[in-house]
Amino acid sequence: MRFAEIPFSEALGYVGAVVVFVTYSMRTMIPLRILSMVSNVIFLVYGVQRGLYPQIVLHCVLLPLNGYRLHQMLRLTRQVRAAAEGDGSMAWLKPFMTKRACRTGETLFVKDALAEAMFFTVSGRFRLVESGIEIGTGQVVGELGLLAPDQRRTQTLRCEAAGEVLVISYSDVKQLYYQNPEFGFYFLRLATGRLFHNLRSLEAQLSAREELPPEEVAPGVA
């Protein structure tokens, strides 16, 4: 039988199979979702042509699901791009994080420990012990451990007043990167920007201390 003699519905099934094969070969999530939606439409038409009602139901469910996941990934990319070009907020990670309650005096991580996650403070009060920096609500802490060569904590984080944090593991952040490399680029740009901001703040503090008269410098400060 020549290709031209193949019924339309059957040819549609072959086309759908090819699209599914290409979908499985995709390395990143956005093109995978787009091709998945294309295959859903093809198999919906194929199912209608052949009267395959279980297949129709399946792809009626998968089509909006793939569309929703595609929307999520595109929105995430826009948000991280805007954050990298704006105020440096990492609040866009909140939908991917899990809640954790913290007690007063609890240590969330200690200096030199292996870094495995980052935190977003929702309520309460926290402090970096070695530097004395207080972490208020709506701030991310612990993200730079992902970029450290040995992935070790450089300070200890302690809860000063009971509250709640959101947590995301580095492995989940890496998954987001693998799904969409553009996300990884903007995340790296954002984290580097925060690092440079911290360095500028430290330089400003050191300059301010150097300008103080010797008698006004706190004992033990060198």
So where are the chain's domains? Answer: 3-85, 91-211
Q: Confidence class of residue 71 from pLDDT cuts 50, 70 and 90? A: confident
Between residues 219 and 95, the one the model is more confident about:
95
Average pLDDT over residues 65-69: 89
CA–CA distances in Å: residue 210 to residues 47, 140, 196, 199, 202: 77, 30, 21, 17, 12
Between residues 219 and 190, the one the model is more confident about:
190
For residues 113 and 153, is the Cβ–Cβ distance under 8 A?
A: yes
Q: What whole-number percentage of the chain has pLDDT above 90?
A: 20
d(CA 84, CA 192): 10
d(CA 21, CA 124): 50
- From the centroid of its chain, how far is CA 186? 10
Q: Confidence class of residue 211 from pLDDT cuts 50, 70 and 90? A: low
Identify the CATH homologous superfamily for domain 91-211.
Answer: Jelly Rolls (2.60.120.10)
**pLDDT number for residue 217:** 47
Interval 74-115: pLDDT, tens: 877 776 666 556 555 566 677 778 999 999 999 999 998 999
**pLDDT number for residue 216:** 52
Interval 42-59: pLDDT, tens: 888 888 888 888 888 988
User: How would you label 159-182 residue by residue, b for 16+ Cβ within 10 Å and e otherwise?
Assistant: beeebebbbbebebbeebbebbeb
Q: Confidence class of residue 170 from pLDDT cuts 50, 70 and 90? A: confident
Average pLDDT over residues 131-143: 83
Average pLDDT over residues 202-212: 72
Q: What is the phi/psi pair of residue 102, to 5°?
A: -125, 135
| C-alpha radius of gyration, the chain, whole number | 26
Asked whether residue 190 carries a pLDDT value surpassing 80, the answer given is: no
Question: Minimum mean pLDDT among 85-89, 161-165, 176-180: which range?
Answer: 85-89
Average pLDDT over residues 183-202: 72
Q: Confidence class of residue 221 from pLDDT cuts 50, 70 and 90? A: very low
3-class DSSP state for residue 97? coil
Q: Confidence class of residue 7 from pLDDT cuts 50, 70 and 90? A: confident
Q: What whole-number percentage of the chain has pLDDT above 70?
A: 79
